[in-house]
Structure formats: structure tokens, C-alpha cells
Amino acid sequence: MTFDPKTFDFKQLPKMGLGVGLDIHDTQPNIPNVLRLNNGHFDYLEFYTSNRTSMTDHVKQMVDSNLPLLYHNEILDVCCPIDGLEEAQSMVVEYVKVLNAKWCIEEAAFRSVGDKRCDFMIPALLTEESLKTTIENLQFIQSHFPCPVFLENPPFQFVYGGIHIVDFMSRLAQELDTAFVLDLGHLWSYQVAAGLPWDANLDNLASDRIIEIHVAGGTWMEKNGVQAYIDSHGHDNGVIFEETYRYLDYMLPRTKNLKGVTYEAEGTPDDVLLQNLVDLRARCQSFLEVKA
């Protein structure tokens, strides 16, 4: 079926279930091991290519596995005005076609500052101007893509601008009549960076537009009395904080158009990954047992 952004309705997308998110350039977890592990522990794969659209052996193995794939992109700088958007996105479009990805995820963030390209992600500036730019960029990107593109709330260690991230993501999705990806650790990182309680402003969340939830491990950083939640995924032994599970329990009954819960596992040792998948499957039972 050909994707047409004009007639597209995110509610019609297939239910994906519980997935694993991986970076194909990581050696841990080992991708062939993860594919062997499958055996009912996960239903789809979402992967990142560290800013490169490369067809490595591991990508080929994922394509050949016949598991449904989602592609997590980090190239398009969707939250700032950029030259060369057409060129950058045409590269991603070709890649997504080869993968036959059900949809593509892009962080609400940017990496380019003027001519310089940072090797870290800068979260969206939470201003009206930035929101308008993001909406225009996403509209342009979506009109040229062979599958839906959904933005994900980014991780924060500092906050610039007065729009709460919940309002930023909800307004963006409402304006374009689309959905978005909610990363639970990223949401917590925003609340911590903004000095807010864990559940601040959640009543404003457009929860019926959440298509996918991300769950991942993290760690705490404290310097000069300032605390930050660091979205380290599996690189701190894959520990998923209780607060992340608390968000998950809060969100699952409220997200009626949710299609997938992705456990972002890069860096996680294989045995921890397996245990976290077992725990998540049990935790998500109410979502997983409902037919699409």
C-alpha cells in the first residue's frame, strides 16, 4: 500500500506490540544474539544508525529477519531552520524504502548551529518561533516521505523557553493532525531540568495522539548542587528507574491509540535485556492483550 500523507490517519497504523530499540553500531547487545533471543520476547525492532544511513551486515540481518521495523533517524534537524533539508531527507527516504519501515521517528531536536554540526543533540527551544519552525519542517518532511514521520520529545539537561514540553508536543501533533512518540525518561528529564514535579502539566497531554512509548535505562548526574537525569539507555547496566515505570503505569490506560512500546536497549548486557523485556511484557499486559 502506498503511503499518502494527505489521506493518512495514524489511528489506522498496525499495532506493533513490544519492541526493542538498538543502535546497529553497538557491540552490546549483540544483534545476532538479540535476533536469536526473539522467541516471543519482542514483536518488532526499532533501530538507529548513529547519524548514518548505512547498510551494515546487522541491518541486513534485521531486514532478513522479517520482523516489522521502525527507523529512528537523527539527521533532519527538524527544530531549526536549515539549508539542505531536501538533500538530507532524500538520503533518509531511500534508506527507509529499503527497510520498509512502518514509520520513522525523529527527535524534536537539532544538531546544527550555523555551519557547525554538534556530535550531541540540542533539544528544541521551547518558544513560539521554534514551534512554528518545527511544524513547517515536519510538514515539508512528511510530504516527501514514503511512511509516517513522528517526532519524539527529546532529553533535556537544560530548558530554554517557556512552553512546557507536554504542550509543545501536543500542539505540534494537533496542528498537523498527527501523532507523536513519548519517551518517558525524556519526559522525566524535562521535569527535573525545569524544577517541576514528575506529573506537572500531564493533564494537558494529548494522550490520544501518542503512537509509541519509549522506555529506557538512565542515570543521575549531580554537579555543583544541580541534578540532571541522564538518558544513558543501557550504558549504566540497563537500570530502568521506578519513576520511568511509574510514568508507564500512568500512560498505558490513557493512550487509546498507542501502537507500540519500545524498550531502548543499546548498551544493555544480554541477560539484563532479557529480564527487562520479561518485566515490561508483564507490565504492558493490558496494552498487549487488546487486539488492534
User: Which spans of this chain sit near Fe ion (rule: CB under 5 A)?
Assistant: 183, 214
Taking the least distance from each CB to Fe ion, the nearer of 24 and 203 is: 24
Contacts of 254 (CB under 8 A, 6+ apart): 205, 207
Quick one: how many helices (H) and strands (E) in the chain? 9, 12
In whole angstroms, the minimum distance from the beta carbon of 251 to Fe ion comes to 14
Nearer to Fe ion, 17 or 260 (CB): 260
| Cα dihedral across residues 168, 172, 175, 177: positive or negative | negative
Torsion of CA 121, 88, 60, 30, to 10 degrees: -10
Cβ 133 to Fe ion shortest distance, Å: 22
**Separation CA 8–CA 178 (nearest Å):** 9
Which H or E run includes 260?
strand 260-264
- Min. distance of Cβ 252 from Fe ion in angstroms? 17
Cβ proximity to Fe ion, 64 vs 120, nearer residue = 120
CB of residue 15 vs Fe ion: minimum separation in angstroms? Answer: 19
Residue closer to Fe ion (CB basis): 40 or 166: 166
Contact 34, 20 (CB under 8 A): yes
